[in-house]
Structure 1
Amino acid sequence: MNNIYDINDLIRKYISNVLTTDELMALRQAVRGSSDNEIASMLEKEWDSLKQVQPIDESVRRQMFAKIESQIGLKQYAIRKFGRNILKYASIALLLILSALSVYLFIDNRQMAALTTNQISVKTAEGERTTVRLPDGTTVRLNGKSELDYKQDFGLNNRQVQLTGEGFFSVVHNADKKFIVNTKFIDIEVFGTQFNVYSYENKDKVEMALVKGHVKVVANRPPYQVLDVHPNQKIVYEKRSGKMQLVETDNQLETAWMTHDLVFHSEPLKTVLECVGRKFGLSIHTDKSVNLNDTYTGMFDETNIREVIQILSIHYGFSYQINGNAIYIERAKRI
């Protein structure tokens, strides 16, 4: 018998259909650990405690017995003292029901646990962009060759996602549940804000630029720096050294990949090429002969990378070669 729960109380709750999962398991164990006489005595006690019960007609009793017999596979016995024997058969039926229910609940709980660990992944191909709306209303705009992962139970216990590539987050405010973006090298913690994350596997750095609100960035590798970031600032994490620094930035440049226009105001060529490469999902390699400190002011509304690079090559006097997903730039040779 179960020493924690009162078996008679469990039986009454079972009849009233108010058992919890733990109580149902306890009742099942109690039934399995009791003798037939103990079960019969308990059920008889509950039977006698019922008030205003109308007598059961003999034909109805026979039908009830036949149904129980067919369901639990009992051999045919003479029906004698049916008013008492039904308690024994009812206890056996109860045991079968409890066993079936406990198995069902066990399987159902395992299925629920599996659902909470299911991972949802959203991926974009090169040159593709998409917008993801999370269950809490937060939107994430993904750049090309990016991946956003989160669990199916997102928002129930926490708001946590993983990002590879580049994404712009518009996080819905929730003071009770902070929003966390995990990358391979840094974690970003916010409650509600807008920011851009740049975290490609094949790049030497990870960046987080804040557009609105306030965030905390935590490096998840030595020396485990923690920095607070405000609007128009960005974090630059160097993968090789593990160092993270806070710098001022222009959010128009950081989020230029989301628009058709690229606008530059006296920006060094190095920054211009980085923005162009991110917008079109290309790697741009420059020869040492190219002066990356030269500044550029202008706007591109072209959606063709060849036209953009052609304009820059005329302005700076360099030559270039496009090879697949890479562009190689060198200073044009004078004739």
Structure 2
Amino acid sequence: MQLEKHTDIDQLITRYLSDTLDKESFAELKRWSSASESNRKYVKNKLEIWFSSGTADHTAAHFNKDKAFSSFKRRMTGTRKRKEQLLRFSWKTFIRAAAVLLILILPVATYRQGKEAVKQTFADMVVEAPMGTHTKLYLPDGTLVWLNAGSKIMYSQGFGIDDRKLKLEGEGYFEVIRNEKVPFKINTKEVNLQVLGTRFNFRNYPDDEEVTVNLMEGKVALHNQIRTMPDLCLEPEEKMVLNKLTGEMSKSKARTNKSNVWINGELFFDEDLLEDIAKKLTRTYNVKVEVADSLRNKRFYGSFEISGNTINKILDTMVSTRQVKYRCEHDVYILY
């Protein structure tokens, strides 16, 4: 049975889901939906169909129930690619719809209280990449993220509504969707990063000696959490290195396009500390690699294919440079 059409109300629902509804219009939608049970059900049904279809058009002035339902059916029987797109469907739309449903159930709740109550309903999301692997994902705002072995990110399921904040442990490559109204922020113990839209690689494993950020595109601002100093801004083809012990943070020119080759199964050491290289090899090959005290401050440059290269082959190549030697004792590789 077709629902009776209420064009003005449909426009209000559309504007709410596209984040363009002001408080006065929201109050109007709330009053109308609370006027009768049929009105409440009308709004509820519209929101449910909208969310299920995944066809929120931020430029649309009207909502077509039949079109949305047809799109929903196509998604359910579509290709694998469409299913992946459905899985990446933004939580932002869902939480907005849920916020309206909440005020329909509790008409006395205010606009802000409704949104906050819905956001608090959800626990933080945690995504991890196990040792020896890497993981690809899309955040609710559409940002692409690759996580390297032994890494994880944590973010609220309300990500993208009022903020785009996340926590990172390990290494991640980010292609951030631009949003001038809501900056993208990454928080770590030693360095905080903020951008609008950009591409960069961020490495900060808890047991690493240094934090590094390589910028390929856009601009990032870095805040030193260890030492008081002005924020450091990076331009494309620049690299930031922070010493976790001293808090010293500096930038330099670098081959930043090589910093994320790990997503394609490569290892790249850009004058990294041998201590951190050993940890990278440990995470990549899931073996124990240690460094003698005499070499802890030594740096190494090199590039290797992971596929077809065993840990022994890589270490043999490093030995051929005559900068380091290694031995294996009780399944532990020791660089000396």
TM-score range, shorter chain: 0.5 to 0.7
**Larger relative contact order (CA 8 Å, sep ≥ 6):** 2
Matched, 1:257 2:276: no
Which residue of the partner structure matches residue 35 of structure 2?
A: 16
Which residue of the partner structure matches residue 194 of structure 1?
A: 199
Q: Deviations over 1:81-115 (max 9, x none)?
A: xxxxxxxxxxxxxxxxxxxx987867xx9896454
Aligned-residue offset at 1:207: 1.6
Question: Structure 1 residues 223-232 or 187-196, which shifts more?
Answer: 223-232
Matched, 1:318 2:325: yes
Aligned-residue offset at 1:224: 4.3
Between the aligned partners of 1:288 and 1:164, the Cα distance in structure 2 is 26
Aligned-residue offset at 1:164: 0.8
Amino acid at match of 1:259: N
SS of 2:119 mapped into structure 1: helix
Question: Structure 1 residues 292-301 or 152-161, which shifts more?
Answer: 292-301
Question: Structure 1 residues 291-300 or 143-152, which shifts more?
Answer: 291-300
Which residue of the partner structure matches residue 138 of structure 2?
A: 133
Alignment of 1:182-261 (within 5 A): 182-261=187-266
Between the aligned partners of 2:249 and 2:199, the Cα distance in structure 1 is 20
Which blocks of at least 5 consecutive residues in structure 2 are unaligned? 1-30, 38-103
SS of 1:144 mapped into structure 2: coil
Between the aligned partners of 1:13 and 1:296, the Cα distance in structure 2 is 67
| Contact residue 180 and residue 187 of structure 1 kept, 8 A | yes
CA, structure 1 residues 213+17, in 2 after alignment: closer, same or farther (shift >3 Å)? same
What is the TM-score normalised by the length of structure 2? Answer: 0.58
Q: Deviations over 1:44-95 (max 9, x none)?
A: xxxxxxxxxxxxxxxxxxxxxxxxxxxxxxxxxxxxxxxxxxxxxxxxxxxx
Which residue of the partner structure matches residue 26 of structure 2?
A: none
Between the aligned partners of 1:268 and 1:154, the Cα distance in structure 2 is 33
CA, structure 1 residues 242+156, in 2 after alignment: closer, same or farther (shift >3 Å)? same
Amino acid at match of 1:319: Y
Between the aligned partners of 1:102 and 1:268, the Cα distance in structure 2 is 57
SS of 1:307 mapped into structure 2: helix
| Contact residue 133 and residue 284 of structure 2 kept, 8 A | no
SS of 2:265 mapped into structure 1: coil
| Contact residue 179 and residue 190 of structure 1 kept, 8 A | yes
Aligned-residue offset at 1:318: 1.8
Q: 1:306 aligns with which of 292, 303, 312?
A: 312
RMSD value, Cα: 3.9
Between the aligned partners of 2:265 and 2:36, the Cα distance in structure 1 is 62
CA, structure 1 residues 136+209, in 2 after alignment: closer, same or farther (shift >3 Å)? same
| Contact residue 234 and residue 249 of structure 1 kept, 8 A | yes
Aligned length in residues: 235
CA, structure 1 residues 322+259, in 2 after alignment: closer, same or farther (shift >3 Å)? farther
| Contact residue 253 and residue 262 of structure 1 kept, 8 A | no
Between the aligned partners of 2:173 and 2:212, the Cα distance in structure 1 is 12
Q: 1:116 aligns with which of 115, 119, 128?
A: 119
Which blocks of at least 5 consecutive residues in structure 1 are unaligned? 1-11, 19-100, 331-335
Aligned-residue offset at 1:166: 0.7
Amino acid at match of 2:164: R
| Contact residue 223 and residue 230 of structure 2 kept, 8 A | yes
What is the TM-score normalised by the length of structure 1? Answer: 0.58
Between the aligned partners of 2:177 and 2:33, the Cα distance in structure 1 is 44
Which residue of the partner structure matches residue 48 of structure 1?
A: none
Aligned-residue offset at 1:253: 3.9
CA, structure 1 residues 291+182, in 2 after alignment: closer, same or farther (shift >3 Å)? closer
Matched, 1:174 2:174: no
| Contact residue 264 and residue 272 of structure 1 kept, 8 A | no
Amino acid at match of 1:248: K
CA, structure 1 residues 271+253, in 2 after alignment: closer, same or farther (shift >3 Å)? farther
Between the aligned partners of 1:322 and 1:170, the Cα distance in structure 2 is 41
CA, structure 1 residues 296+210, in 2 after alignment: closer, same or farther (shift >3 Å)? closer
SS of 1:161 mapped into structure 2: strand
Aligned-residue offset at 1:315: 4.4
Which residue of the partner structure matches residue 92 of structure 2?
A: none
Amino acid at match of 2:119: T
Aligned-residue offset at 1:268: 8.2
